[in-house]
A and B are shown apart, each in its own frame.
Chain A
Amino acid sequence: DTGVSQDPRHKITKRGQNVTFRCDPISEHNRLYWYRQTLGQGPEFLTYFQNEAQLEKSRLLSDRFSAERPKGSFSTLEIQRTEQGDSAMYLCASSLGRKLTETNYGYTFGSGTRLTVV
């Protein structure tokens, strides 16, 4: 296992187009997170999965954003009708938590997908 893998690394799209990103977490990790990071800022939480269940979504995740994690393995993040304000680095992370209430002991992040909307 080589860690958290994200695809593509870079995506340039025209405003109004739909884009989809993929994340493959560390295989034994049951928790998966999506964060967004803009230049000069720290990562901002978007959403979280415990296995296949999406347990929390940030208010940052507008109706144009949707995330899935079928079968609790890889995850996809789709942005519909992209806007220039969506340009950012989209980071996926995973961690291991055996119980729902077990505390997070830190994430393993992927290298991110850099989205540019022109």
Chain B
Amino acid sequence: QKEVEQDPGPLSVPEGAIVSLNCTYSNSAFQYFMWYRQYSRKGPELLMYTYSSGNKEDGRFTAQVDKSSKYISLFIRDSQPSDSATYLCAMSGTGGFKTIFGAGTRLFVKA
């Protein structure tokens, strides 16, 4: 079993829809949770960063962490075609320099 599980999709939604992306994990030592966005043929770009449980909002993006369920989510409101990319969840432990990534979910937002 992988430490981080993420549905690879693809997920296709119409422009303006609310998108929900999710990951589950097995290592309870994870304390830091991140979402990266990766466009084709580019490196991942950090979108959101959350420590421990709770919510964090940044513009159209909201990250949620539920450590009791070992479940993290990223919500995208008013999705745009420019949001079409692969979204990677990632996590690390306290003092950890090694980040474990999910496989990524491919998102397509149709105009």
Contact = CB atoms under 8 A, between A and B. Distances in A.
Interface of A: 4, 31, 33, 35, 40-45, 48, 50, 55-56, 91, 93, 97, 101-112, 114
Contacts of B42: 111-112
A54 to B, nearest CB: 12
A42 B95 contact: no
Given A103-B94, A107-B44, A107-B46, 17 more contacts: A41-B103, A42-B6, A42-B104, A43-B44, A44-B101, A45-B98, A48-B98, A91-B44, A97-B97, A103-B32, A103-B95, A104-B92, A106-B49, A109-B44, A109-B45, A110-B43, A112-B43
A101 B95 contact: yes
A53 to B, nearest CB: 12
A104 B43 contact: no
Interface in B1-54: 4, 6, 8, 31-32, 34, 36, 41-46, 49
Nearest to A108: B46
Interface in B74-109: 88, 90, 92, 94-104
Given A42-B88, A42-B104, A109-B43, A103 B96 contact: yes
A7 B97 CA distance: 24
A111 B6 contact: no
Nearest to A10: B41
A28 to B, nearest CB: 17
A107 B49 contact: no
Contact of B43 (A4, A41, A42, A44): A4
Nearest to B101: A42
B34 A50 contact: no
Nearest to B104: A42
A-B pairs, top 5 by smallest CB distance, nearest first, are: A42-B101, A109-B43, A101-B95, A106-B46, A111-B43
Contacts of B96: 103-104
A103 B41 CA distance: 28
